[in-house]
Structure 1
Amino acid sequence: MKKMVLSLGGSILVPSLEAHTVSEYAAVLIQMALRGQVYVVVGGGGEARRYIGAARSLGINEAASDEIGIMVTRINATLLVYALGDAAYPAVAESYRQAKEFGESGKIVVMGGVTPGQTTDAVSAVLAETVGADLIINGTSVDGIYSADPKADPEAQRYDRMSAQDLLSIISAARLDAGSNTVIDIVAAKIVERSGIPLLVVDGRNPENLSKAVCEGTFSGTIVSDGECSPLPL
């Protein structure tokens, strides 16, 4: 059975409590699960950043502030588990070993953060290695990987395909610019390189983009792979 790991930003899933896409994503994930075993790692989004900011204002150290952020990722993950109903394993995985065990049920497995100092992008990449995934999908707020931040540079070029080393080069260069943003963190990119697992970066603001990519092989985004063949559709 094919296995896929989806990194889903909290700002994509729950941009606000009044306007969220939890139900829409639940429907799409159930479609994707027809193609293989699905694991989802949910981020904390703006809500986590607000709690972390409050913790810092109280003088709480960074490790403890990160723990608070992890709690928020697990709240978001719990919302998704409930929305998925019987299609999901009925608990949020809190470790890689637990996620792997839950996957033996054949149901969709959902988890949040794991370790202070580690983003959910990195969690997704480590989880993909742990379960032997065939594909990592990063659902983000842009439609792929660009040569520069497309929000700041209108001349930025979007890549349809690139190698893992190319991705690392772009991220490393971006890190030299103060305040720049990247669609995936450098730890996750290094794990993608060492594992050889293909990565798809796609606009996650429309959940249907993910199901089309997995089920039809049609998408607007970037494939990071050192292989010659496209890993899509599954």
Structure 2
Amino acid sequence: MVEKVFAVGGTVIQDNLERINDFAEAFPDEQIAVVTGAGKLNRYQSAVKGNNGEKDLIGIKATRLHAQTLLTAMDDTYPEVPERPEEVQKAASSGMNVVMGGLVPGYSTDAVAATVAELLDADLYIATTVDGVYTDDPEKVEDARKFDEITVEELLDITGGSNEPGIYSVVDEAAVRLIERSMIDTKIFEASLENLESPEEASGTRIIHR
């Protein structure tokens, strides 16, 4: 039974391509689901003049490229990348790990991962290039403060509600709304090999519900 769903940013996959086998082996030794993002491939979205739906379809293909790459490197993994919610449930019922990308236009990797966590009644771990949620962008604001815990309401204030294709904050509003709706236990942390091995112990930001 899947008890942990990981949202892994596409940039994380790209930054670990040279050691993708080590990265794939770092996940907990239990059945999990992993949803990968587009990362720097989102530049293909911004390169076209199509509408947002068309741009999202390009982004979804990019996420699935990363998913197929990770799937190939991981052991005991369902051999297909699910493309619809019902396929996620079928793959999870196999007892094997599930690796996938986007599902439908308009949803970020985090929102898809939150949907999967809802479907499978699992905890959500958002593995990204930063070590948690900050009051401001830590790369731009020197005294930005990291939250060890943050409420859904506080996080919604920070995310700003941007759903433009290829542009998302640490976690976007749609994902937060899903997390709120089903009170999904969620943690945001830096995607180091050590943190992926023991996500419960990783330093990061836990989303709490009141």
TM-score (norm 2): 0.90
CA-atom RMSD in angstroms: 2.0
User: 1:113, 1:196 → 2: CA distance?
Assistant: 22
- CA–CA separation in structure 2 for the residues paired with 1:21 and 1:167: 33
Q: Is the 8 A contact 2:35 2:101 kept in 1?
A: yes
Alpha-carbon displacement from aligned partner over 1:115-170 (angstroms, at most 9, x marks no partner):
1121111101111111111x100011110111111111111110111222222222
1:119 match: 108
Match of 1:149 among 134, 137, 156: 137
Tell me the equivalent position of 1:104: 93
How big is each residue's C-alpha offset from its partner over 1:3-32, in whole Å with a ceiling of 9 and x where there is no partner?
A: 11100011001138xx44421221012xx1
Contact 1:33-1:108 within 8 A present in 2 as well: no
Q: Among 29, 43, 52, which residue is 2:37 paired with?
A: 43
Identical columns (%): 33
Residue type matched to 2:208 in 1?
S
User: C-alpha distance in 1, partners of 2:81/2:94?
Assistant: 14
Give unmatched runs, 5+ long, in structure 1: 228-234
4+ residue runs over 4 A deviation: none
Map residues 45-124 of structure 1 onto 2, 5 A cutoff. 45-47=39-41, 49-54=42-47, 56=48, 59-85=49-75, 87-124=76-113
The answer as to 2:8 corresponding to 1:8 is: yes
Distance in 1 separating the partners of 2:108 and 2:159: 15
Q: Matched residue of 1:77: which SS?
A: helix
- Matched to 2:198, the amino acid is K
**What is the aligned partner in structure 2 of residue 232 from structure 1?**
none
> Could you tell me which of 116, 136, 140 is aligned with 2:128?
140
1:183 aligns with: 170
Structure 2 vs 1, CA of residues 168 and 44 (structure 1 numbering), >3 Å: closer, same or farther?
Answer: same
Give the conservation status (yes or no) of the 8 Å contact 2:127–2:190: yes
Asked which structure has the greater RCO (Cα within 8 Å, sep 6+), the reply is 2
Verify: 1:209 aligned to 2:192, yes or no: no
Which residue, 151, 155, 174 being the options, matches 1:163? 151
- Equivalenced residue count is 206
SS of corresponding position for 1:14: helix
Change in Cα spacing, 1:143 to 1:162, as seen in structure 2 (3 Å) is same
Once the two structures are TM-superposed, the CA of residue 50 in structure 1 deviates from its matched residue by 2.4
Alpha-carbon offset, residue 181 of structure 1:
6.6
Deviation at 1:225, TM superposition (A): 2.0
**Does 1:221 find its partner at 2:196?**
no
Q: Secondary structure at the match of 1:74?
A: helix
**Contact 2:132–2:189 under 8 Å retained in 1:** yes
